[in-house]
């Protein structure tokens, strides 16, 4: 088993949504990843790097290029990327050409600050996949580690499903 350090790149998405009373609205806030790893009592070495704070529907091609550039340039070869779920598969495509790195996208359908959020479970799922999978792009959602290039979000059903 590997004990190589894991890099977590945060880009925003529902997982980091906060409620701002002064605006009466929810927006992507500071990343919850540090809090989740502390509560998860993670002793495995890791490093967190904020790339963006966006809803995934607002991500541009330039944003995806930036995420890919950060992943490619990082000294770590095992990377978890927290991301909004709606365009997670597009970003998976943008990462596919990076060689020699295990990259796992994850996020949440309910904000991490909710009592009942899938954020902690999903981050655990992604953390293990980053340690155990061969180089490539993966999506860890809905309790499953998917090939990142053969999966889609079924928005109606609120889950990710494999594409045959």
Question: What is the full DSSP assignment across 3-47?
Answer: ---EEEEEEESGGGEEEETTTTEEEE-S-SHHHHHHHTT--S-EE
Burial of 131 per CB tally in 10 Å (0-12, 13-18, 19+): middle
Kind of pairing, strands 151-154 and 46-54? unpaired
* Residue among 14, 32, 91, 106 flagged as catalytic: 14
Site track 98-137 with a second copy (rule: CB under 8 A), x = hit:
-----------xxx-xxxxxx-xxxxxxxxxx-xxx----
Is 82 in the active site?
no
Tokens of 156: 């109606």
How many C-beta atoms surround the C-beta of residue 117 within 10 A? 18
Site track 1-40 with a second copy (rule: CB under 8 A), x = hit:
x-x----------x--x-x-xx-xxx---------xx-xx
From 59-67, 68-76, 91-99, 149-157, give the range in contact with a second copy by CB under 8 A: 149-157
Residue 39 vs 65, nearer CB to a second copy: 39
User: Cα–Cα distance between 110 and 80 in angstroms, integer?
Assistant: 19
User: Cα–Cα distance between 78 and 41 in angstroms, integer?
Assistant: 19
Site track 50-89 with a second copy (rule: CB under 8 A), x = hit:
-----x-x---------------------------xx---
Applying CB under 8 A, the residues found at the interface with a second copy are: 1, 3, 14, 17, 19, 21-22, 24-26, 36-37, 39-44, 46, 55, 57, 85-86, 109-111, 113-118, 120-129, 131-133, 138, 140, 142-147, 155-162
């Amino acid at each position: 088993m590997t004990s190589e350090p894991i890099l977590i790149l945060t880009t925003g998405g529902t997982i980091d949504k906060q409620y701002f009373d002064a605006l009466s609205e929810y927006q992507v806030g500071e990343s919850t990843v540090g809090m989740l790893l502390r509560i998860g009592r993670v002793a495995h070495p890791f490093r967190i790097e904020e790339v963006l704070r966006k809803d995934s529907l607002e991500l541009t091609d330039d944003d995806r290029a930036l995420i890919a550039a950060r992943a490619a340039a990082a000294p770590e070869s095992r990377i978890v990327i927290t991301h909004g779920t709606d365009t997670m598969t597009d970003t998976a495509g943008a990462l596919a050409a990076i060689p020699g790195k295990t990259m796992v996208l994850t996020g949440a359908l309910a904000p991490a600050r909710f009592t009942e959020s899938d954020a902690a479970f999903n981050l655990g799922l992604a953390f293990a996949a980053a340690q155990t999978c061969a180089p490539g792009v993966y999506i860890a959602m809905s309790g499953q580690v998917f090939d990142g290039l053969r999966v889609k979000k079924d928005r109606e059903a609120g889950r990710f499903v494999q594409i045959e």
